[in-house]
Protein backbone atom coordinates (compact mmCIF):
# COMPACT_ATOMS: atom_id res chain seq x y z
CA UNK A 1 0.00 0.00 0.00
CA UNK A 2 1.17 3.53 -0.77
CA UNK A 3 0.04 6.14 1.75
CA UNK A 4 -1.12 6.15 5.35
CA UNK A 5 -3.20 8.58 7.48
CA UNK A 6 -7.04 8.41 7.27
CA UNK A 7 -7.38 6.19 4.20
CA UNK A 8 -4.36 4.16 5.25
CA UNK A 9 -6.18 3.15 8.41
CA UNK A 10 -9.43 2.39 6.58
CA UNK A 11 -7.72 0.23 3.97
CA UNK A 12 -5.32 -1.54 6.34
CA UNK A 13 -8.23 -2.52 8.54
CA UNK A 14 -10.23 -3.72 5.52
CA UNK A 15 -7.51 -6.00 4.15
CA UNK A 16 -6.89 -7.50 7.59
CA UNK A 17 -10.60 -8.29 8.09
CA UNK A 18 -11.37 -9.99 4.76
CA UNK A 19 -10.45 -13.58 5.59
CA UNK A 20 -11.80 -13.28 9.14
CA UNK A 21 -15.39 -12.64 8.04
CA UNK A 22 -15.61 -13.91 4.45
CA UNK A 23 -14.63 -17.07 2.61
CA UNK A 24 -12.20 -15.51 0.17
CA UNK A 25 -10.34 -17.30 -2.65
CA UNK A 26 -7.13 -15.44 -1.81
CA UNK A 27 -5.81 -14.46 1.60
CA UNK A 28 -4.06 -11.07 1.49
CA UNK A 29 -0.66 -10.66 3.07
CA UNK A 30 0.15 -7.13 4.22
CA UNK A 31 3.60 -7.13 2.68
CA UNK A 32 4.86 -3.53 2.41
CA UNK A 33 3.57 -0.04 3.10
CA UNK A 34 5.19 3.04 1.59
CA UNK A 35 4.81 6.69 2.65
CA UNK A 36 6.97 9.82 2.90
CA UNK A 37 7.18 10.20 6.67
CA UNK A 38 9.52 7.41 7.75
CA UNK A 39 9.25 8.24 11.44
CA UNK A 40 5.47 7.89 11.65
CA UNK A 41 5.40 5.10 9.06
CA UNK A 42 7.44 2.73 11.22
CA UNK A 43 4.85 2.99 13.99
CA UNK A 44 1.96 2.78 11.51
CA UNK A 45 3.32 -0.42 9.96
CA UNK A 46 3.76 -2.07 13.36
CA UNK A 47 0.29 -1.06 14.53
CA UNK A 48 -1.57 -2.23 11.41
CA UNK A 49 0.38 -5.40 10.70
CA UNK A 50 2.50 -4.47 7.68
CA UNK A 51 5.55 -6.73 7.46
CA UNK A 52 7.76 -4.12 5.78
CA UNK A 53 7.82 -0.37 5.25
CA UNK A 54 9.67 2.05 2.99
CA UNK A 55 9.81 5.81 2.51
CA UNK A 56 10.25 5.37 -1.26
CA UNK A 57 7.16 4.09 -3.07
CA UNK A 58 9.29 3.03 -6.06
CA UNK A 59 10.61 0.18 -3.90
CA UNK A 60 7.12 -1.35 -4.18
CA UNK A 61 7.24 -1.33 -7.98
CA UNK A 62 10.62 -3.05 -7.92
CA UNK A 63 9.51 -5.87 -5.59
CA UNK A 64 8.43 -8.88 -7.67
CA UNK A 65 6.81 -10.57 -4.67
CA UNK A 66 4.06 -7.92 -4.51
CA UNK A 67 0.98 -8.65 -6.65
CA UNK A 68 -1.51 -5.90 -5.75
CA UNK A 69 -0.76 -2.29 -4.86
CA UNK A 70 -3.34 -0.17 -3.05
CA UNK A 71 -2.88 3.59 -3.65
CA UNK A 72 -4.31 5.84 -0.92
CA UNK A 73 -2.18 8.93 -1.51
CA UNK A 74 -3.26 12.51 -2.39
CA UNK A 75 -4.71 12.94 -5.88
CA UNK A 76 -1.60 14.60 -7.33
CA UNK A 77 0.41 11.38 -7.35
CA UNK A 78 -2.27 8.84 -8.33
CA UNK A 79 -1.33 8.86 -12.01
CA UNK A 80 2.43 8.49 -11.62
CA UNK A 81 2.15 5.79 -8.99
CA UNK A 82 -0.61 3.79 -10.68
CA UNK A 83 1.06 3.84 -14.10
CA UNK A 84 4.38 2.78 -12.58
CA UNK A 85 2.75 -0.15 -10.80
CA UNK A 86 0.87 -1.27 -13.91
CA UNK A 87 4.05 -1.12 -15.97
CA UNK A 88 5.69 -3.26 -13.27
CA UNK A 89 2.99 -5.90 -13.82
CA UNK A 90 1.00 -5.31 -10.65
CA UNK A 91 -2.75 -5.11 -10.09
CA UNK A 92 -3.74 -1.68 -8.79
CA UNK A 93 -6.51 -0.39 -6.59
CA UNK A 94 -6.71 3.39 -6.27
CA UNK A 95 -8.60 5.84 -4.08
CA UNK A 96 -11.08 8.25 -5.66
CA UNK A 97 -11.21 10.52 -7.51
CA UNK A 98 -9.14 8.61 -10.04
CA UNK A 99 -6.94 11.66 -10.69
CA UNK A 100 -6.74 15.46 -10.54
CA UNK A 101 -7.70 15.92 -14.17
CA UNK A 102 -9.30 14.10 -17.06
CA UNK A 103 -5.94 13.96 -18.87
CA UNK A 104 -4.33 12.15 -15.93
CA UNK A 105 -7.30 9.79 -15.63
CA UNK A 106 -7.09 8.97 -19.35
CA UNK A 107 -3.39 8.18 -19.03
CA UNK A 108 -4.18 5.82 -16.15
CA UNK A 109 -6.99 4.10 -18.08
CA UNK A 110 -4.73 3.75 -21.14
CA UNK A 111 -1.98 2.20 -19.01
CA UNK A 112 -4.50 -0.24 -17.57
CA UNK A 113 -5.62 -1.24 -21.06
CA UNK A 114 -2.04 -1.93 -22.10
CA UNK A 115 -1.18 -3.90 -18.96
CA UNK A 116 -2.29 -7.46 -18.29
CA UNK A 117 -3.45 -6.44 -14.84
CA UNK A 118 -6.72 -5.64 -13.08
CA UNK A 119 -7.60 -2.20 -11.73
CA UNK A 120 -10.09 -1.08 -9.10
CA UNK A 121 -11.26 2.30 -7.76
CA UNK A 122 -12.46 2.76 -4.18
CA UNK A 123 -15.97 4.05 -4.65
CA UNK A 124 -16.76 2.27 -1.41
CA UNK A 125 -20.34 3.51 -1.03
CA UNK A 126 -21.36 0.96 -3.66
CA UNK A 127 -20.65 -1.57 -0.90
CA UNK A 128 -23.25 -0.26 1.52
CA UNK A 129 -25.85 -3.05 1.57
CA UNK A 130 -28.60 -0.46 1.08
CA UNK A 131 -26.93 1.01 -2.02
CA UNK A 132 -26.24 -2.45 -3.42
CA UNK A 133 -29.92 -3.28 -2.84
CA UNK A 134 -30.95 -0.10 -4.67
CA UNK A 135 -28.81 -1.24 -7.63
CA UNK A 136 -30.57 -4.62 -7.54
CA UNK A 137 -34.09 -3.12 -7.38
CA UNK A 138 -33.42 -0.93 -10.42
CA UNK A 139 -32.08 -3.94 -12.35
CA UNK A 140 -35.27 -5.82 -11.50
CA UNK A 141 -37.34 -3.01 -13.00
CA UNK A 142 -38.93 -2.00 -9.69
CA UNK A 143 -38.60 1.71 -10.53
CA UNK A 144 -39.51 1.45 -14.21
CA UNK A 145 -38.49 4.38 -16.38
CA UNK A 146 -36.43 6.80 -14.30
CA UNK A 147 -37.39 10.49 -14.37
CA UNK A 148 -35.42 12.23 -11.61
CA UNK A 149 -32.13 11.80 -9.74
CA UNK A 150 -31.25 14.12 -6.83
CA UNK A 151 -27.88 13.60 -5.23
CA UNK A 152 -26.24 15.62 -2.46
CA UNK A 153 -23.09 15.20 -0.42
CA UNK A 154 -23.11 17.71 2.41
CA UNK A 155 -20.34 18.21 4.98
CA UNK A 156 -19.54 21.12 7.28
CA UNK A 157 -15.86 20.90 8.22
CA UNK A 158 -14.33 23.34 5.72
CA UNK A 159 -14.90 26.78 7.26
CA UNK A 160 -12.25 29.48 7.66
CA UNK A 161 -10.95 27.92 10.88
CA UNK A 162 -10.00 24.71 9.08
CA UNK A 163 -6.20 24.72 8.56
CA UNK A 164 -4.57 24.47 5.17
CA UNK A 165 -3.99 21.00 3.73
CA UNK A 166 -3.45 19.43 0.32
CA UNK A 167 -7.22 19.19 -0.10
CA UNK A 168 -7.42 23.00 -0.45
CA UNK A 169 -4.56 23.25 -2.97
CA UNK A 170 -5.71 22.85 -6.58
CA UNK A 171 -2.24 21.74 -7.71
CA UNK A 172 -2.48 18.79 -5.31
CA UNK A 173 -6.20 17.97 -5.28
CA UNK A 174 -7.38 19.07 -8.73
CA UNK A 175 -10.61 20.38 -7.21
CA UNK A 176 -12.19 20.73 -3.79
CA UNK A 177 -15.59 19.48 -2.70
CA UNK A 178 -16.26 18.61 -6.33
CA UNK A 179 -13.65 15.89 -6.78
CA UNK A 180 -13.79 14.77 -3.16
CA UNK A 181 -17.58 14.50 -2.77
CA UNK A 182 -19.30 14.85 -6.15
CA UNK A 183 -17.11 12.00 -7.38
CA UNK A 184 -18.90 9.69 -4.95
CA UNK A 185 -22.44 10.72 -5.81
CA UNK A 186 -21.83 10.77 -9.56
CA UNK A 187 -20.51 7.23 -9.31
CA UNK A 188 -23.43 6.21 -7.09
CA UNK A 189 -25.98 7.63 -9.54
CA UNK A 190 -24.31 5.86 -12.46
CA UNK A 191 -24.05 2.63 -10.48
CA UNK A 192 -27.65 2.52 -9.24
CA UNK A 193 -29.31 3.59 -12.48
CA UNK A 194 -26.96 1.81 -14.90
CA UNK A 195 -27.21 4.91 -17.08
CA UNK A 196 -24.70 7.53 -18.22
CA UNK A 197 -24.72 11.32 -18.04
CA UNK A 198 -24.75 12.97 -21.47
CA UNK A 199 -24.97 16.71 -20.77
CA UNK A 200 -24.14 19.17 -18.01
CA UNK A 201 -26.67 22.01 -18.31
CA UNK A 202 -25.09 24.43 -15.87
CA UNK A 203 -22.84 24.58 -12.84
CA UNK A 204 -21.50 26.85 -10.11
CA UNK A 205 -18.30 26.22 -8.14
CA UNK A 206 -17.54 29.07 -5.70
CA UNK A 207 -14.57 29.41 -3.38
CA UNK A 208 -15.86 30.93 -0.14
CA UNK A 209 -12.65 30.66 1.89
CA UNK A 210 -9.67 32.05 -0.03
CA UNK A 211 -6.99 31.83 2.71
CA UNK A 212 -6.21 29.28 5.38
CA UNK A 213 -3.61 29.03 8.11
CA UNK A 214 -0.69 26.81 7.12
CA UNK A 215 2.62 25.90 8.73
CA UNK A 216 4.20 29.11 7.41
CA UNK A 217 1.31 31.51 7.90
CA UNK A 218 -1.72 32.21 5.73
CA UNK A 219 -1.81 30.36 2.42
CA UNK A 220 -4.09 30.59 -0.62
CA UNK A 221 -7.04 28.17 -0.62
CA UNK A 222 -7.94 27.95 -4.30
CA UNK A 223 -10.35 25.05 -4.73
CA UNK A 224 -14.14 25.04 -4.88
CA UNK A 225 -15.78 24.86 -1.46
CA UNK A 226 -19.07 23.87 -3.06
CA UNK A 227 -20.22 22.75 -6.50
CA UNK A 228 -23.75 22.34 -7.85
CA UNK A 229 -24.68 21.20 -11.35
CA UNK A 230 -27.62 19.98 -13.42
CA UNK A 231 -27.37 17.05 -15.81
CA UNK A 232 -29.25 14.79 -18.22
CA UNK A 233 -28.86 11.03 -18.55
CA UNK A 234 -28.98 9.07 -21.79
CA UNK A 235 -32.23 7.38 -20.73
CA UNK A 236 -33.97 10.73 -20.40
CA UNK A 237 -33.71 11.33 -16.65
CA UNK A 238 -32.73 14.75 -15.34
CA UNK A 239 -30.46 15.13 -12.32
CA UNK A 240 -29.04 17.56 -9.80
CA UNK A 241 -25.76 17.12 -7.95
CA UNK A 242 -24.58 19.17 -4.97
CA UNK A 243 -21.37 18.84 -2.99
CA UNK A 244 -20.15 21.16 -0.26
CA UNK A 245 -17.92 21.28 2.80
CA UNK A 246 -19.82 24.25 4.21
CA UNK A 247 -23.33 22.85 4.75
CA UNK A 248 -23.60 23.86 8.40
CA UNK A 249 -25.35 21.18 10.44
CA UNK A 250 -24.43 18.29 8.12
CA UNK A 251 -21.64 15.91 9.07
CA UNK A 252 -21.61 13.36 6.24
CA UNK A 253 -24.97 13.57 4.48
CA UNK A 254 -24.31 11.54 1.35
CA UNK A 255 -27.82 11.24 -0.08
CA UNK A 256 -29.56 10.20 -3.27
CA UNK A 257 -33.21 10.00 -4.33
CA UNK A 258 -34.35 8.40 -7.57
CA UNK A 259 -37.93 8.71 -8.86
CA UNK A 260 -39.29 6.40 -11.54
CA UNK A 261 -42.58 5.58 -13.20
CA UNK A 262 -43.17 2.47 -11.06
CA UNK A 263 -41.38 3.41 -7.86
CA UNK A 264 -38.75 5.46 -6.08
CA UNK A 265 -35.92 5.02 -3.63
CA UNK A 266 -33.77 7.19 -1.39
CA UNK A 267 -30.65 6.73 0.73
CA UNK A 268 -28.76 8.80 3.29
CA UNK A 269 -25.38 7.57 4.47
CA UNK A 270 -25.94 9.07 7.91
CA UNK A 271 -28.50 6.24 8.25
CA UNK A 272 -26.49 3.86 6.08
CA UNK A 273 -28.25 0.60 6.94
CA UNK A 274 -31.61 1.87 5.67
CA UNK A 275 -32.99 2.11 2.13
CA UNK A 276 -36.34 3.83 1.65
CA UNK A 277 -38.49 2.47 -1.17
CA UNK A 278 -41.81 3.59 -2.62
CA UNK A 279 -43.86 1.18 -4.75
CA UNK A 280 -46.28 2.99 -7.05
CA UNK A 281 -48.30 -0.22 -7.41
CA UNK A 282 -49.37 -0.11 -3.74
CA UNK A 283 -53.00 0.71 -3.05
CA UNK A 284 -53.70 4.35 -2.10
CA UNK A 285 -55.09 3.35 1.29
CA UNK A 286 -51.74 1.92 2.40
CA UNK A 287 -49.15 3.36 0.05
CA UNK A 288 -46.15 5.34 1.29
CA UNK A 289 -42.41 5.17 1.75
CA UNK A 290 -41.20 1.80 3.04
CA UNK A 291 -38.23 1.74 5.43
CA UNK A 292 -36.02 -1.28 4.70
CA UNK A 293 -33.43 -2.13 7.33
CA UNK A 294 -30.85 -3.79 5.09
CA UNK A 295 -29.47 -6.29 7.60
CA UNK A 296 -31.14 -9.57 6.65
CA UNK A 297 -28.57 -12.22 5.82
CA UNK A 298 -30.81 -14.09 3.37
CA UNK A 299 -31.91 -10.97 1.49
CA UNK A 300 -29.34 -8.18 1.51
CA UNK A 301 -25.84 -7.99 0.01
CA UNK A 302 -22.78 -8.64 2.20
CA UNK A 303 -24.49 -8.63 5.60
CA UNK A 304 -24.66 -12.42 5.92
CA UNK A 305 -20.92 -12.36 6.57
CA UNK A 306 -21.18 -9.90 9.45
CA UNK A 307 -23.70 -9.97 12.30
CA UNK A 308 -27.21 -11.33 12.99
CA UNK A 309 -30.24 -9.60 11.46
CA UNK A 310 -30.75 -6.11 12.81
CA UNK A 311 -27.15 -5.72 14.02
CA UNK A 312 -26.06 -2.77 11.95
CA UNK A 313 -22.70 -2.28 10.23
CA UNK A 314 -20.69 0.92 9.72
CA UNK A 315 -18.40 2.91 7.45
CA UNK A 316 -15.40 0.62 7.85
CA UNK A 317 -17.39 -2.37 6.62
CA UNK A 318 -17.83 -0.81 3.18
CA UNK A 319 -14.06 -0.99 2.66
CA UNK A 320 -13.89 -4.61 3.79
CA UNK A 321 -16.79 -5.50 1.49
CA UNK A 322 -14.91 -3.96 -1.42
CA UNK A 323 -11.61 -5.58 -0.51
CA UNK A 324 -13.41 -8.94 -0.50
CA UNK A 325 -14.84 -8.29 -3.96
CA UNK A 326 -11.36 -7.38 -5.22
CA UNK A 327 -10.05 -10.69 -3.90
CA UNK A 328 -12.94 -12.53 -5.54
CA UNK A 329 -12.10 -10.99 -8.92
CA UNK A 330 -8.37 -11.66 -8.57
CA UNK A 331 -9.25 -15.23 -7.60
CA UNK A 332 -11.17 -15.71 -10.86
CA UNK A 333 -14.67 -15.16 -9.51
CA UNK A 334 -17.32 -12.45 -9.61
CA UNK A 335 -17.89 -9.57 -7.18
CA UNK A 336 -21.16 -9.38 -5.28
CA UNK A 337 -21.97 -6.16 -7.15
CA UNK A 338 -19.95 -4.59 -10.00
CA UNK A 339 -16.55 -3.12 -9.19
CA UNK A 340 -15.40 0.11 -10.85
CA UNK A 341 -12.11 -0.18 -12.73
CA UNK A 342 -10.05 2.64 -14.25
CA UNK A 343 -12.19 2.63 -17.42
CA UNK A 344 -15.37 2.92 -15.35
CA UNK A 345 -13.93 5.68 -13.14
CA UNK A 346 -12.87 7.55 -16.28
CA UNK A 347 -16.58 8.11 -17.05
CA UNK A 348 -17.05 9.72 -13.64
CA UNK A 349 -13.91 11.82 -14.15
CA UNK A 350 -15.31 13.08 -17.48
CA UNK A 351 -18.50 14.19 -15.73
CA UNK A 352 -16.44 16.05 -13.12
CA UNK A 353 -14.41 17.75 -15.85
CA UNK A 354 -17.54 18.75 -17.77
CA UNK A 355 -19.11 20.28 -14.65
CA UNK A 356 -15.98 22.37 -13.99
CA UNK A 357 -15.97 23.53 -17.60
CA UNK A 358 -19.64 24.44 -17.32
CA UNK A 359 -18.97 26.48 -14.18
CA UNK A 360 -16.02 28.28 -15.80
CA UNK A 361 -17.69 28.97 -19.15
CA UNK A 362 -21.24 29.46 -17.83
CA UNK A 363 -22.75 27.27 -20.51
CA UNK A 364 -24.00 23.75 -21.17
CA UNK A 365 -21.34 21.11 -21.87
CA UNK A 366 -21.98 17.87 -23.78
CA UNK A 367 -19.98 14.95 -22.42
CA UNK A 368 -19.21 13.88 -26.00
CA UNK A 369 -17.22 17.10 -26.41
CA UNK A 370 -15.07 16.54 -23.31
CA UNK A 371 -12.02 14.59 -24.46
Same domain, 63 and 175: no
Given 124, 150, 170, the domain boundary residue is 124
Q: Please name every residue paired with 53 in a beta bridge, in sequence order, or none if there are none.
A: 33
Kindly report the CATH number assigned to the domain that includes residue 198.
3.30.360.10
In a domain, 97, yes or no: yes
CA–CA dist 39, 252 (Å, integer): 32
Given 89, 108, 124, the domain boundary residue is 124
Residues 6+ apart with CB under 8 A from 184: 96, 123, 125, 153, 254
* pLDDT of the residue at 249: 97
Q: Please name every residue paired with 2 in a beta bridge, in sequence order, or none if there are none.
A: 34, 71
Q: Determine if the pTM surpasses 0.85.
A: yes
Report, as an integer, the average pLDDT of 294-320: 97
* pLDDT of the residue at 53: 97
* pLDDT of the residue at 42: 95
* pLDDT of the residue at 178: 98
Q: How confident is the model at residue 21 (pLDDT cuts 50, 70, 90)?
A: very high
In a domain, 223, yes or no: yes
* pLDDT of the residue at 134: 98
In a domain, 26, yes or no: yes
Same domain, 70 and 55: yes
Same domain, 137 and 116: no
Helix (H, G, I), strand (E, B) or coil at 191: helix
Q: How confident is the model at residue 219 (pLDDT cuts 50, 70, 90)?
A: very high
Q: φ and ψ at 234, to 5 degrees?
A: -65, -25
In a domain, 270, yes or no: yes
* pLDDT of the residue at 179: 96
* pLDDT of the residue at 140: 98
Q: How confident is the model at residue 156 (pLDDT cuts 50, 70, 90)?
A: very high
* pLDDT of the residue at 74: 95
Same domain, 237 and 351: yes
In a domain, 253, yes or no: yes
Same domain, 24 and 70: yes
Asked if residues 192 and 235 have their Cβ atoms less than 8 Å apart, the reply is no
pLDDT tens digits, one per residue of 316-332: 999 999 999 999 999 99
CB-hemisphere CA count at 13 Å for 78? 30
Q: Helix 129-139 crosses helix 183-193 at what angle (to 10 degrees)?
A: 40
Given 69, 94, 124, the domain boundary residue is 124
Asked if residues 276 and 266 have their Cβ atoms less than 8 Å apart, the reply is yes
CA–CA dist 23, 117 (Å, integer): 23
Q: How confident is the model at residue 246 (pLDDT cuts 50, 70, 90)?
A: very high
Same domain, 46 and 136: no
Same domain, 245 and 209: yes
For residue 4, the Cα-to-chain-centroid distance in whole angstroms is 17
Query: Is-cis flag, bond preceding 329, omega within 30?
Result: no
Same domain, 110 and 151: no
Report, as an integer, the average pLDDT of 10-25: 98
Say if residue 284 is exposed, middle or buried (CB neighbours under 10 Å; 0-12, 13-18, 19+). exposed
* pLDDT of the residue at 238: 98
Same domain, 67 and 104: yes
Same domain, 91 and 183: no
In a domain, 367, yes or no: no
Same domain, 185 and 54: no
CA–CA dist 197, 193 (Å, integer): 11
Q: Helix 183-193 crosses helix 342-361 at what angle (to 10 degrees)?
A: 120
Same domain, 66 and 195: no
* pLDDT of the residue at 229: 98
In a domain, 336, yes or no: no
Q: φ and ψ at 266, to 5 degrees?
A: -150, 150
* pLDDT of the residue at 189: 98
Average pLDDT, rounded, for the chain: 97
Domain count, the chain: 2
Say if residue 5 is exposed, middle or buried (CB neighbours under 10 Å; 0-12, 13-18, 19+). middle
* pLDDT of the residue at 240: 98
Report, as an integer, the average pLDDT of 41-63: 97
CA–CA dist 357, 359 (Å, integer): 5
In a domain, 262, yes or no: yes
Kindly report the CATH number assigned to the domain that includes residue 104.
3.40.50.720
Q: Give residue 237's domain range.
A: 128-313+341-361
For residue 215, the Cα-to-chain-centroid distance in whole angstroms is 30
Amino acid sequence: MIGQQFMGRAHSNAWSQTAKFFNVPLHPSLHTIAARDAQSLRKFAARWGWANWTADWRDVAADDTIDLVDIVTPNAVHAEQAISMLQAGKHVSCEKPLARTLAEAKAMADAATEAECRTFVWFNYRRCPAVALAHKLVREGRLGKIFHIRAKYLQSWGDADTPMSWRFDKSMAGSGAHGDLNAHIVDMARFITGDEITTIHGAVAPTFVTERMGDDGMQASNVDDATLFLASFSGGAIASFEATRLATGNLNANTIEINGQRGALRFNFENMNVLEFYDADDQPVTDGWRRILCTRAEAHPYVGNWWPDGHIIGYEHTFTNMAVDILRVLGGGDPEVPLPDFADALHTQRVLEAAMLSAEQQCAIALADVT
